[in-house]
Amino acid sequence: MISKNQIKLLKSLEYKKYRKLHGLFVAEGPKLVNELLLEGWQPKHLFHLPEWQGSNGETGEEITDRELSQISQLSTPNEVLAVLQLPENEFNGFGHKLNLVIDGIKDPGNLGTMIRLADWYGLKEIFLTPDCTDAFSAKTVQASMGSIFRIKITQLAQQEIVLLPAQMAQVLGAFLDATPVKSIEPKWPLSLVIGSESHGISQEIENLVTHKISIERKGKAESLNAAMACGILLDNLL
Amino acid sequence: MISKNQIKLLKSLEYKKYRKLHGLFVAEGPKLVNELLLEGWQPKHLFHLPEWQGSNGETGEEITDRELSQISQLSTPNEVLAVLQLPENEFNGFGHKLNLVIDGIKDPGNLGTMIRLADWYGLKEIFLTPDCTDAFSAKTVQASMGSIFRIKITQLAQQEIVLLPAQMAQVLGAFLDATPVKSIEPKWPLSLVIGSESHGISQEIENLVTHKISIERKGKAESLNAAMACGILLDNLL
Let me know whether A231 and A136 are in one domain.
yes
pLDDT at residue A1, as a whole number: 78
Let me know whether B106 and B219 are in one domain.
yes
Number of domains comprising chain B: 2
Q: How far is B3 from chain A (nearest CA, A)?
A: 36
Q: Does the residue B26 lie in any domain?
A: yes
Task: List CB contacts (< 8 A) between A220 and chain B.
Answer: 119-120, 122, 147, 150
Q: Does the residue A92 lie in any domain?
A: no
pLDDT band (50, 70, 90) for residue B167: confident
Looking up residue A232, the CATH number of its domain turns out to be 3.40.1280.10
Q: Does the residue B153 lie in any domain?
A: yes
Interface with B, mutate which of A233, A235, A236, A238 (most B CBs under 10 A): A235
Q: Which residue, A30, A33, A29, A57, is CA-closest to A43?
A: A33
Let me know whether B35 and B109 are in one domain.
no
**Could you give the CA distance from residue B238 to residue B231 in angstroms, rounded to a whole number?**
11
CB–CB contact A220 B150 (8 Å): yes
Q: Does the residue B92 lie in any domain?
A: no
Q: Does the residue A188 lie in any domain?
A: yes
Q: Which of A118, A121, A224 sits opposite B120 (nearest CB)?
A: A224
Task: List CB contacts (< 8 A) between B227 and chain A.
Answer: 228
- Per-residue pLDDT of chain A (238 residues), as tens digits, is 789 999 999 999 999 999 999 999 999 999 999 999 999 999 999 999 999 999 999 999 999 999 999 999 998 999 999 999 999 999 999 999 999 999 999 999 999 999 999 999 999 999 999 999 999 999 999 999 999 999 999 999 999 999 999 889 999 999 999 999 999 999 999 999 999 999 999 999 999 999 999 999 999 999 999 999 999 999 999 9
Let me know whether B32 and B77 are in one domain.
yes
E strand or H helix at A115:
helix A108-120
**Could you give the CA distance from residue A31 to residue A79 in angstroms, rounded to a whole number?**
10
Does residue A226 contact residue A196 with C-beta atoms inside 8 Å? yes
Let me know whether A74 and A103 are in one domain.
no
Let me know whether B77 and B32 are in one domain.
yes
Model confidence at B1: pLDDT above 90: no
Of B20, B52, B85, the residue at which a domain comes to its end is B85
CB–CB contact B228 A113 (8 Å): yes
Interface of A with B (CB under 8 A): 113, 116-123, 145-147, 150, 215, 217-225, 227-228, 231-232, 235-236, 238
3-class state of residue A177 by DSSP: strand
Let me know whether A106 and A194 are in one domain.
yes
Task: List CB contacts (< 8 A) between A219 and chain B.
Answer: 118-123, 150
Q: Which of B120, B220, B221 sits opposite A221 (nearest CB)?
A: B120
Let me know whether A63 and A171 are in one domain.
no
E strand or H helix at A66:
helix A65-71
Of A85, A112, A136, the residue at which a domain comes to its end is A85
Q: Please, which residues bridge with residue B71 across strands?
A: none
Q: Which of A116, A217, A238 sits opposite B221 (nearest CB)?
A: A116
Q: Which of B122, B220, B236 sits opposite A119 (nearest CB)?
A: B220
Let me know whether A76 and A120 are in one domain.
no
Chain pair A-B, CB pairs under 8 angstroms: 85
CB–CB contact A117 B150 (8 Å): no
Computed on alpha carbons and rounded to an integer, the radius of gyration of chain A in Å comes to 20
Show Cβ contacts of residue B178 under 8 Å, excluding neighbours closer than 6 positions: B212, B213, B214
Let me know whether B81 and B29 are in one domain.
yes
What are the tens digits of pLDDT across the range A25-60?
Answer: 999 999 999 999 999 999 999 999 999 999 999 999
Let me know whether A49 and A146 are in one domain.
no
Distances in Å between the Cα of A190 and the Cα atoms of A156, A209, B90 are: 17, 11, 48
Task: List CB contacts (< 8 A) between B152 and chain A.
Answer: none
Let me know whether A52 and A14 are in one domain.
yes
Give me the half-sphere count of Cα atoms (radius 13 Å) on the Cβ side of residue A202. Answer: 15
Show Cβ contacts of residue B227 under 8 Å, excluding neighbours closer than 6 positions: A228, B109, B110, B113, B114, B117
Q: Does the residue B90 lie in any domain?
A: no
ipTM of the complex: 0.95
Show Cβ contacts of residue A214 under 8 Å, excluding neighbours closer than 6 positions: A174, A175, A176, A177, A178, A179, A180, A181
Distances in Å between the Cα of B46 and the Cα atoms of A30, B2, B10, B35, B60 are: 47, 12, 12, 14, 5
Q: Which domain, by its residues, includes B201?
A: 98-237
CB–CB contact A121 B218 (8 Å): yes
Looking up residue B28, the CATH number of its domain turns out to be 3.30.1330.30
Q: How many CB atoms sit inside 10 A of residue A19's CB?
A: 18
Does residue A30 contact residue A80 with C-beta atoms inside 8 Å? yes
DSSP assignment of chain B equals ---HHHHHHHHHTTSHHHHHHHTEEEEESHHHHHHHHHTT---SEEEE-TT---TTS---EE--HHHHHHH--SSS--SEEEEEEPPP-----S-SSEEEEEES---HHHHHHHHHHHHHTT-SEEEE-TTSPPTTSHHHHHHTTTGGGTSEEEEPPHHHHTTTTTT-SEEEEEEEEEEEGGG----SSEEEEEEBTTTBS-HHHHTT-SEEEEPPP-S------HHHHHHHHHHHH-
Q: Which of A220, A225, A232 sits opposite B235 (nearest CB)?
A: A232
Q: How far is B151 from chain A (nearest CA, A)?
A: 10
Phi, psi of A212 (to 5 degrees): -85, 125
Predicted model pTM: 0.95
